[in-house]
Amino acid sequence: MRGWDDFRIALSFLTVLPVGRALPCDAPRLARSMALFPAVGLLLGLLLAVSNWALQLILPPLVVAPLVVLLLIRLTGALHLDGVADLADGLAGGRDRDTRLRIMKDSRIGAIGAVALIMVLLLKVVAIYSLPLPLQSATLVLMPAAGRWLQVLLSALCDYARPEGGTAGAFVDNVGEPQALFASVTLLAAALILFGLQGLWLLLGLAALAVFLLRYLERHLGGVTGDALGAATEVAELATLLLVLALHPSL
């Protein structure tokens, strides 16, 4: 029952589904639920794959691809897209860590943030449209899981960048190796089931991305914030699509 409650907490935090909001949530419990973030991603991915299949029965693929992206946005309440714009604005406009963090906290979106947001969405749509038909369902299932796995990994390995604290601090300050290990095993199992042993190439690419983002965020922000985790999620989802396209002859 505790595991089911943790899953409901993770689901309610990552989606608009009101399934666990009545459950008591302290910081350690929130952090513990992060172990199940990739599992929530797999559920989201399954909904995307089913919707993609059903919509392609009645609509052309060029129309279906943006609808699939919109469905993911709707299910997650655009939770992570705001982080893309804020992180891009902060990195582009700040010359030091404090300035970057201050810019990221501003609710207004600058030109660089708007461009980053548009490009992420555009690339997602084009990548989904370009997926080979035999790989579409598997890729759409894995994509959200990969994004949420990276959240767990960065939270476990990075410090929280804002000394004054913040919403994401409850996760980052309490999550650790057990959650990161469980999340990684979940993603590994999903990749092997969906792509066979060739799925290891996808995981290798995602691991390289994780190392890069870990070092980049530590260097430029001194750790992670909620915006950084949200942006990392979107980047990992896009990277999964691009990796499948790059590796599809071997997959």
Inter-axis angle of helices 61-76 and 37-55, nearest 10:
150
Would you say residue 50 lies in a domain? Answer: no
Q: What is the pLDDT of residue 70?
A: 97
Q: What is the pLDDT of residue 137?
A: 96
> What pLDDT digit, counting tens, does each position of 152-184 carry?
999 999 888 887 766 667 777 788 889 999 999
1 has a pLDDT exceeding 70: no
The total number of structural domains that make up the chain: 1
Would you say residue 28 lies in a domain? Answer: no
Would you say residue 15 lies in a domain? Answer: no
Q: Which domain holds residue 93?
A: 57-247
DSSP annotation of 108 reads S
184: helix, coil or strand?
A: helix
Backbone angles phi, psi at 79, to 5 degrees: -60, -40
> What pLDDT digit, counting tens, does each position of 20-75 carry?
565 666 667 778 889 999 999 999 999 999 999 999 999 999 999 999 999 999 99
Would you say residue 91 lies in a domain? Answer: yes
Q: CA 45 to CA 134: how far, in whole Å?
A: 16
Would you say residue 40 lies in a domain? Answer: no
Would you say residue 157 lies in a domain? Answer: yes
Would you say residue 231 lies in a domain? Answer: yes
235 has a pLDDT exceeding 90: yes
Hey, which bits of the chain come out as E strands? none
Specify whether the CB–CB gap between 131 and 244 falls below 8 A: yes
Would you say residue 230 lies in a domain? Answer: yes
